[in-house]
Structure 1
Amino acid sequence: MAEINVNAKAYCKLLLHVAKYPHTAVNGVLVAPRQREGDPKTINIVDCFPFFHTPLSLAPMLEVALSQVDAYCKEQGLAMCGYYQANEHEDDNVPNEVAKKIAEKIVDSYPGGCLLMVNNKRISSEQRDIYTVYQKKDTNWKQQDINRCNIDEAGLEAARALLEQRSYRQLMDWDNHLDDIINDWKNPIINEQISAM
């Protein structure tokens, strides 16, 4: 199984997405530099793109979002390497069928990719391990040791500052983009705030 490194931009945007919609399930994709052939020993997650905060299984909208992110990633030399999801209920942090199917689609083109399930009870600016990491082994998703997932220290500091500033109000997911295309799903405003820290 690959070791996973999560940089500040990816960690902060994931956390802000969950913070913006604490009352509902949210999901999104994780991206990494395009890999060479074979299973990677290390996956460096460099960004995330928040998808939905309404029903997560709307196939047409999901296909459009995946297609757009894939096209953007190809232009940037990146690839979708994983999927994250926070379930609606505080006590539910186990992958459901929606999470598994979307993650499988991503892992089919990025061997060694991951599925991150957010633990809603751990969401705070002080927590390092806000999610459980799963990787596919054979036909099943297996929970991984949290020590195989490293979060950039700068990401933790940036997350604290962004939560205190309530920057989650500025985060845009695909639902926001579909409501009004002016809402940029790439989140340039949040990216600039993270880069400035």
Structure 2
Amino acid sequence: MTSYTLSEPAYLKLFFHAAKHPHKPVNGVLLGKKAGNAVVIEDTIPLLHHWTSLSPMMEIGLDLAAQYAESVGLKLVGYYQASDRLNDTSLVPVGEKVVGKIKAGFSDAVAFVIDGDKLGTDEAALIPYVSSSSASWRPYAGDTIPFAKDSSFRLASEDLPRRAVTLVRENRLHQKFGDFDDHLEDVAIDWLRNKTCLPTAS
């Protein structure tokens, strides 16, 4: 069974993306590498915060994200999204198409849907979607609850959800965060790295 661990930067960035656009759908890709049966998701690249289909802008963003991943020795290993409705935790058709494309190059690709109801809590606000084939994506239904003890899905540290909430509420770091949509409006926004929104950035 493949395990997945999200690093601090990866979790914080997707959390910031959803926090910055709470009433809009957002999406992005996950970067990482695999060693044995363990996938480490080391980074997140945010794509869009208003999309309805697999648009040319989405395709361009995906290509640029893949090029960046390769330049830093990583691969596209998954996809994430949040809905504009708190209680909607389904993987939308666009998401299935994108993660299906990623799976063609990385067989253990995973998708995460951000759970809006858990965004402000101490729990990991993510629902993993896995696939046994490129055409069927379903919420993970293993023996343990995702991100619980002994789960195949883990965070680099248990206090990450609480830390993310603090960084949004007290430090407003999500306001420094930018996605590909933002970059198209202001090319100075470094959507591929987003170093200025991370508390450990030098």
So what's the TM-score if we normalise by structure 1?
A: 0.89
Q: Which has the higher helix share?
A: 1
Find 1:91's aligned residue among 87, 90, 95: 87
**2:69 alignment partner, one of 69, 73, 76:** 73
Q: Which residue of structure 2 lines up, in the alignment, with residue 51 of structure 1?
A: 47
Tell me, in whole angstroms, the C-alpha distance in 2 between the residues paired with 1:8 and 1:95: 23
2:180 counterpart of 1:174: yes
Residue-pair matches, total: 190
Residue of structure 1 equivalent to 2:115:
119
Q: State the partner residue of 1:21.
A: 21
Please state whether the residue corresponding to 1:175 is helix, strand or coil.
helix
- Between the two structures, name the one with larger relative contact order (CA 8 Å, sep ≥ 6): 1
Displacement of 1:91: 1.4
> What SS does the corresponding residue of 1:134 show, helix, strand or coil?
strand
Q: What secondary structure does 2:27 align onto?
A: strand
Aligned-pair distance for 1:75? 1.1
Paired residue for 1:9? 9
Contact 2:124/2:161 (<8 A) preserved = no
In structure 2, the CA distance between the partners of 1:60 and 1:194, relative to structure 1 (3 Å rule), is: same
Give matches, 1:127-166, under 5 Å.
127-138=122-133, 139-144=135-140, 145=142, 146=146, 147-153=151-157, 155-156=160-161, 158-163=163-168, 164-166=170-172
Is the 8 Å Cα contact of residues 30 and 80 (structure 1) preserved in structure 2?
Answer: yes
In the alignment, what sits opposite 1:190? 197
* Identity score, percent: 27
CA distance in 2, matches of 1:162, 1:103: 29
CA RMSD of aligned residues (A): 1.8
Change (3 A) 1:58 1:107: closer
What SS is found at the alignment partner of 2:47? Answer: strand
Moved over 6 A (4+): none
Given that 2:125 and 2:161 are in contact with CA atoms closer than 8 Å, whether structure 1 keeps it comes out as no
Q: How much does 1:157 deviate?
A: 5.3
| TM-score (norm: length of structure 2) | 0.87
* Deviations, residues 151-177 of structure 1 (Å, cap 9, x unaligned): 122634541331121111000001100
Paired amino acid for 2:196 = I
Whether contact under 8 Å (1:135, 1:143) holds in the other structure is yes
Gaps of at least 5 residues in structure 2 are none
